[in-house]
Amino acid sequence: MIDGKNKRNNASEAFAQVRNDIDQVDSELVELIARRQALTGKVGTLKAELKLPLYVPSRESELIEKKRQLAEQKGISPDLVEDVIRRIMRDSYLSQNKTRSQVTQTQQRKVVVIGGKGQLGSLFVQLFGQSGYSVDIIDKDDWLQSEDLLQNAAIVMVAVPIRITRQVIEKLSQLDEQCLLVDITSIKESPLNAMLAIHKGPVVGLHPMFGPGIGHLAKQTIVVCHGRGKSQYNWFIEQLKNWGANLSFVDARQHDHLMSIVQVLRHFSTIAYGYHLKQENIDLDKVLELSSPIYRLELIMVGRLFAQDAELYSDIIFSDQKNIPMVKRFLQRMMDLLEMLETEDKQKFAELFAEISNWFGGHAEKFLAESNQLLAKASDVKK
């Protein structure tokens, strides 16, 4: 009896000691991360002085591959190490970006951001300012002095809501012919044509494929639609790369067609689903309690949309009447599936499923692997 009690006491003491050891290792990890962050801050300063880009994909891939190999040598999971390294690197881009802004870079170019007090416009104001450009903002109450503000501008960026973009562009007929005119709206053909019509100098259309709230452009995709004078705005393209952005070059018309799927149809169906949940008066807390991780993620993405600006999404969805046929075709395909359900035609449903799976091809397995990684992290999200 005494031996059993002693064994339990010994086990408890050993357990407490191991816990203390783990706590100590965790503290050492925090110290190491702090040391690494201090080093990445220095890297950010040096990158700015050397005019090197914030994000270099090949460098990141090489670093991660080396750490995966080291993990295998140490007998630990390479996936675990990659997850940790990627999370640390995500923060390192923030620290690098902060220290880059402390390096004075003499630029000879003046920038004017129309709508520079908005969420996306203010990001570019910040980026240009950190890189040493002279930046002026024109907001809705500044048009009386716009002529003075626009004088000698090397770049004028239009960063206003879609519904007034053309109206703003039409006020820019007196720009210097060497000035670059650029917009950052989520549709491209209409504003690009408007800029080409009003301005004789270089023109380019951008679509930043991210929302407000980010602190840097590392790994962020920006669509670039050529307008006029590509050689005259190559410096600006290089600046976007230097900020760490991934650039995707595409024709404006093709861009708008693809966005009818990526944005318009996606947002429309998300809003319709949210509307349906609301009309059904679903108990969200109970649904979440019973949800699998994948459905929780899906519901999170639906709820995320409704936490944002209604005007932003209405502008996107209502931006072009040419999107309506696409939405109608989507609804018709929903009806096709509903008919299979009503007629209990499981065979036809299975055949259609196989056809779609075949169309996705290798992407299906790739998406499965990527989603499994997301689901593995979903349980770590603070609730």
The DSSP line for 104-137 is ------EEEEETTTSHHHHHHHHHHHHTT-EEEE
Residues 280 and 337 in one domain: yes
- For position 382, what pLDDT does the model report? 52
Residues 192 and 293 in one domain: no
Phi, psi of 267 (to 5 degrees): -65, -40
Residues 155 and 204 in one domain: yes
In tens digits, the chain (383 residues) has pLDDT values of 556 666 667 778 888 888 999 999 989 988 988 888 888 878 777 777 777 777 777 888 888 889 899 889 989 898 888 888 888 887 777 667 666 555 555 557 899 999 999 989 999 999 998 888 999 999 988 888 888 999 999 999 999 999 999 999 999 999 999 999 999 999 999 999 999 999 999 999 999 998 767 777 888 999 999 999 999 999 999 999 989 899 999 999 999 999 888 889 999 999 999 999 999 999 999 998 898 888 888 999 999 999 988 888 888 888 888 889 999 999 999 999 999 999 999 999 999 999 999 999 999 999 998 888 777 776 666 55
Residues 174 and 238 in one domain: yes
- How far is residue 62's CA from residue 100's CA, in Å, rounded to a whole number? 23
Residues 261 and 235 in one domain: no
Choosing from 249, 280, 300, the residue where a domain stops is 249
Give residues with Cβ within 8 angstroms of 46, minimum separation 6: 52
Read off the pTM: 0.76
Range of the domain at 67: 12-100
Indicate the number of domains in the chain: 3
Residues 142 and 194 in one domain: yes
Domain presence at residue 283: yes
Residues 281 and 167 in one domain: no
Residues 87 and 140 in one domain: no
Domain presence at residue 299: yes
- How far is residue 338's CA from residue 288's CA, in Å, rounded to a whole number? 26
Domain presence at residue 5: no
Residues 166 and 228 in one domain: yes
Residues 245 and 296 in one domain: no
Domain presence at residue 184: yes
**Secondary structure letter of residue 210 according to DSSP:** S
